Chains A and B, each alone.
Chain A
């Protein structure tokens, strides 16, 4: 993949634009192609038409202040079966917008890095971090620990990087499509998440089963909290917050209705090990 031009480079003429002539044979040779492409790209470099300040202004005006947490990557350490949910709060609780898809086309983490990290992200920046460990079924937010319940076997909770796109004081949440025979659920304090691939996740108050959070994973794919916890979280989580969901539920390998509560649902205690 080296880019050194080879002898007998871009045929006759060989202008940056049109140097392709007489090189058909050489194109199958990668370096020849590289030098042609380089010339082409170089000929079409364009100075930035607007200032950097203008670019930043557009980003700000768009109002989607999604502050990804630097800590997201550190959340995995625990175990393969831990579901780490990292929530970043935006500063503004009033950020209202419904454009989940915008954020994700852009945020679908580019993987390749061709050079070393130029600088590390400014640590902290006053962003509170919340974390859900599904093996223990707890959500740690701003120093508080809340028990949670997630998707049962047939209705696993979606995973991946998500963004809070909307909040509802009360709404009907559709059943997940992954499960069979799912049904909707009317719930208060609903936080809607958009995941890559247009999947949707929900954090909500599990009013019909206040004892499930911390004890069992038996929701239709959403992340259920006790009602007062859900309300508390609802008030603190703003649209635009980034959410990282990983792993699978401890109960995911069991029947949805097994109802096998772990010995101790207390926050902080180790949860049941999955097979």
Chain B
């Protein structure tokens, strides 16, 4: 991949990947940051990156891992600052958080990653398993638990929330 090809790939894939990472992180700025960083690393490691078969999948994996480690760092920092550990998976503040995003953010990250990879990024269950280093059975369990939890959350907000033009506040 020469410079021109890389630039074209970057321009084409960046928007799609930020959308996917938004679904994973629930934070728009964060999604852009990690995708951008992943592209920087891709150019740095362009041999690996190309040898790997699917450049876009490579970028997505790197971006997701970056998002996970940032999220963990932030949580550890919060724990230090506040002494009392925050609950897991507290949704962060965000102006355009929607019901689905909010529900996604309540999932443990393993479930969230499985859901996003399988249902959004079209990876097969086997691919999700190899991507996340988990057995196929575990991935299936994560998917079904994640879906059930989402359905429950969305069901709750349906009952409780004020609904206007499809938005839940």
Contact = CB atoms under 8 A, between A and B. Distances in A.
Contacts of A44: 18-19, 22-23, 28, 31
Interface string A94-118: 0000000001011111111111111
A21 B166 contact: yes
A41 B20 contact: yes
Interface of B: 1, 3, 5-8, 10-11, 14-16, 18-20, 22-23, 28, 31-32, 36, 38-48, 50-58, 60-62, 65-66, 69, 96, 98-101, 103, 115-125, 127-128, 130-131, 143, 147-148, 150-155, 157-158, 161, 163-168
Contacts of A48: 10-11, 14-15, 36
Contact of A46 (B18, B46, B117): B18
B131 A11 contact: no
B40 A11 contact: no
A47 B12 CA distance: 9
Interface stretch (A52-60, A176-184, A229-237): A52-60
Among A36, A40, A43, A62: residue with most chain B CB under 10 A: A40
Contacts of A51: 7
B137 to A, nearest CB: 17
Interface of A: 1, 3, 10-15, 17-28, 30, 33-34, 36-38, 40-53, 55-56, 58-60, 62, 64-70, 73, 103, 105-121, 242
A65 B44 contact: yes
Q: Interface on chain B toward A: helix, strand, loop, or mixed SS?
A: helix
In order of increasing CB-CB distance, the 10 nearest A-B pairs are A13-B166, A52-B7, A110-B61, A41-B19, A24-B155, A113-B53, A18-B167, A44-B22, A45-B15, A59-B43
Contact of A24 (B36, B40, B131, B154): B154
Contact of A18 (B5, B60, B69, B168): B168
B48 A107 contact: yes
Consensus secondary structure, chain A interface: loop
A69 B22 CA distance: 33
Contacts of A110: 52, 57-58, 60-62, 131
B130 A24 contact: no
A36 B23 CA distance: 10
Given A15-B167, A46-B15, A46-B32, A27 B150 contact: yes
A56 B3 contact: yes
Contacts of A56: 3, 6-7, 43
A18 B28 CA distance: 16
Contact of A59 (B40, B55, B96, B123): B40
A173 B27 CA distance: 43
B148 to A, nearest CB: 6
A33, A67, A106 pick with most chain B CB within 10 angstroms: A106
Given A17-B167, A21-B158, A40-B98, A114 B148 contact: no
A12 B50 CA distance: 44
Contact of A33 (B41, B52, B150): B150
B32 A27 contact: no
Contacts of B62: 105-106, 110
Given A17-B96, A46-B15, A106-B41, A114 B3 contact: no
